[in-house]
Every structure is written in C-alpha cells, then in structure tokens.
Amino acid sequence: MSLEGYRLGPSGDTTQQAEDEARQPQRRPSSRHRSSGQGPPASSRRCAAARPGLPRPGARCCTSQAPGPVRRVQPAPPRPAPLSPAMLAARLLRAAPSGLASLHSSARRLRGARVAVVLSGCGVYDGTEIHEASAILVHLSRGGAEVQMYAPDIPQMHVIDHSKGQPAEAESRNVLVESARIARGKIADLAKLSTKDHDAVIFPGGFGAAKNLSTFAVDGKDCKVNGEVERVLKEFHKAGKPIGLCCISPVLAAKVLSGAEVTVGHEEEEGGKWPYAGTAGAIKALGGKHCVKEVTEAHVDVNNKMVTTPAFMCETELHHIFDGIGAMVKGVLKLTGK
C-alpha cells in the first residue's frame, strides 16, 4: 500500500487515524477495575494491528487476515424531483404512438350494444316482474351492454296489495315513479326513447305489460297498446334493430307487428305447469305466430329480429327462468352485431 498522502503520528498511527480516535469518547474503567488496579479484560482490549488504516511497525495482528484497502464511500446521486400530474400526462402522450388509448387494452375493445329496457311499474301483479327485470339487467351487464331504462309517465291501471293479491282501492301510483325503484332512480320517460340512441330494446314481463302498457288483461285480443309503446316497437322494427320480450310481453309485439313469431311457452296447462297457456291462443288471434318452447329456451324470429322466452309463464324454479332470459338476452345481443 502506498504511504503517499499519509503522515505517521508519534505512536506509529497515521495522522488521520489518530484524529479519528481522538473524536471517540474515552471509556472509563469499571469500579471493579478501579479497585483492583487492573485494566479492562483482555477480550475488550483492541488489537493494535487490527485498527483501521496502516498497521503499526512490528505489531502482530491477532487475526489471520491482512487489513484490506481503505474504502471511500461515494455520495449517492441526487434524486430527481417528482413529476407533476400534468408533466406525467404529457410524457405519456409523447411516449405512446397513438396517445393514451394505446396504453389501455379496454380502449381497443369495441363498445358494447346500447340497449333500452322498458319497464311497466314495480311488482308482478301491477307492474314489472322484478326477478325478470333483474335477470335481464344481469345478463346485459355480463354481455357488456350499455343499458338505459324507460317507462311511460302514466297512472297505473290499479294498485295490487301483493301480500293479499287484492286491489288497494284507495291507492293510485305512477308507472314511471314505480319503475324508478327497479332502475335505482336512473330512468327516463318512454317518450324520450329514440332508436338512434339504442341498438336494441327489451320488454320484461309482469302484469304491468298487460295492464299499463296495454289493455290485454281486460280486453284480450281486442286490446289497445299504449301509444309510446306502439311507437317504440314500430320504430325499432322499421330500423331493423332487435326486440326482446319475455313472459306476457310478447302479446305487445303480436298486436303491433302482424305476423311476428313469438313464444309464451306451451299451449296446454299440463297440470298447472303452464297456467297461462291460453295466452298462446290469444297471440294467434292477434295475428301472430306462436312457437312452443321450453322455459330455458328462447325463440328467435330472424325475419323480424325478435327474440322471446316464456319466463314466469311457467311454474318452475327460478334458475330455469334465469337461464331462459339469458338465452333471450344473448340472442338479442347477437342480432345487434356488437
């Protein structure tokens, strides 16, 4: 090792080493050492040859290893200042060939179908069948669709006490207001629904379709359909955009669109399994064509771009109805081409 740059002190230590030791606080011997006159134990004595720096002349090291070279610690480079959000965004835009869109896989995905869902109140006996509406929304969500819900701003035909199955004579309710319960408040007047804003439309079932969206529950084949409902069905049909219906709501299409092929399930009650089987005959009387299907199936009318499923027209377990509605929603989304 070169001695250049070092000066030996009186005891043989380098000047730098002596200065370092001078800065360290001196340890006082313990009372035991003071009383006995002895120095600190040998285990606490420091080997002169093991001191940092150069060894003293003639000193023998208590270890078998020779002292290594003196290491000088390099200072850490200064850390760069954090980027502001604006500077970070600008840097990302410069780095991405097509802007930020190229950094997100979702930006490259095709936008899902825009689907309108038309409700008729809240509750199976005087409005929308809630399980059917929920199943439709779940399957649309799973299919990546963008959903907007609508309902006509009209009074209900009547209000049913669902705990008793009887009319509540002193009550009156609004279809739009009641439908907002299912839509969690995000709903619009049916009069605002336009085909240019949507790729498809779906009508859940429930007696509201036969009482509030039409008079089918009272007038049967001689029923009338609400003006806005009729407009929506005709406009989507004319635009070649798919229409989905379930449960009792296919009667709306049979009334408005002559020759439409729909299903409400079976045409015989079969011991109570299909309690509303007589609806199939009414559909034929309205000018529609009825197709027998199981509750888990959906019928696709390719010519009219219409998809229907029986849903609660059948007395069965809820998961079968859920599966049938899923088949209907899948058929509607497929017809949109998105």
pLDDT band for position 241 (cuts 50, 70, 90): very high
Residue 203 structure tokens: 């009508």
Strand positions, DSSP E, the chain: 114-118, 146-151, 160-161, 166-167, 187-189, 200-203, 243-246, 261-262, 289-290, 299-301, 306-309
Give the range among 65-79, 125-139, 202-216, 289-303 with minimum mean pLDDT. Answer: 65-79
- Mean pLDDT, range 280-301, rounded to an integer: 98
Q: Comparing 183 with 2, which gets the higher pLDDT?
A: 183
| pLDDT at residue 40 greater than cutoff 80 | no
Q: Which residues are catalytic?
A: 247
Element at 86 (helix H, strand E): helix 85-95
Instruction: Tell me what percent of the residues of the chain surpass a pLDDT of 70.
Output: 68
Give the range among 77-86, 164-173, 200-209 with minimum mean pLDDT. Answer: 77-86
Element at 96 (helix H, strand E): none
Q: Please spell the DSSP secondary structure of 178-232, one letter per residue.
A: HHHHHTTT-EEEGGG--GGG-SEEEE--STHHHHTSBSHHHHGGG--B-HHHHHH
Give the range among 10-19, 111-120, 246-255, 279-288 with minimum mean pLDDT. Answer: 10-19
Tokens 């907002």 belong to residue:
180
Question: In degrees rounded to 5, what are phi and psi of residue 290?
Answer: -100, 135
What whole-number distance in Å separates Cα of residue 263 and Cα of residue 293? 6
Q: Comparing 169 with 318, which gets the higher pLDDT?
A: 318
Report CA-CA distances (Å) from 287 to 155, 257, 278: 29, 8, 15
| pLDDT at residue 301 greater than cutoff 50 | yes
- Mean pLDDT, range 213-227, rounded to an integer: 97
% helix, strand, coil for the chain, step of 5: 40, 15, 50
| pLDDT at residue 93 greater than cutoff 60 | no
Give the range among 56-60, 182-186, 188-192, 227-231 with minimum mean pLDDT. Answer: 56-60
Residue 18 has a pLDDT of: 47
| pLDDT at residue 109 greater than cutoff 70 | no
Mean pLDDT of the chain, nearest integer = 82
Residue 322 has a pLDDT of: 98
Residue 210 has a pLDDT of: 98
What whole-number distance in Å separates Cα of residue 251 and Cα of residue 280? 9
Residue 56 has a pLDDT of: 52
- pTM for this model (two decimals): 0.69
| pLDDT at residue 47 greater than cutoff 60 | no
Residue 97 has a pLDDT of: 46
Q: 214 pairs with which residues across the strands?
A: 225
CA 286 from chain center: how many Å?
41
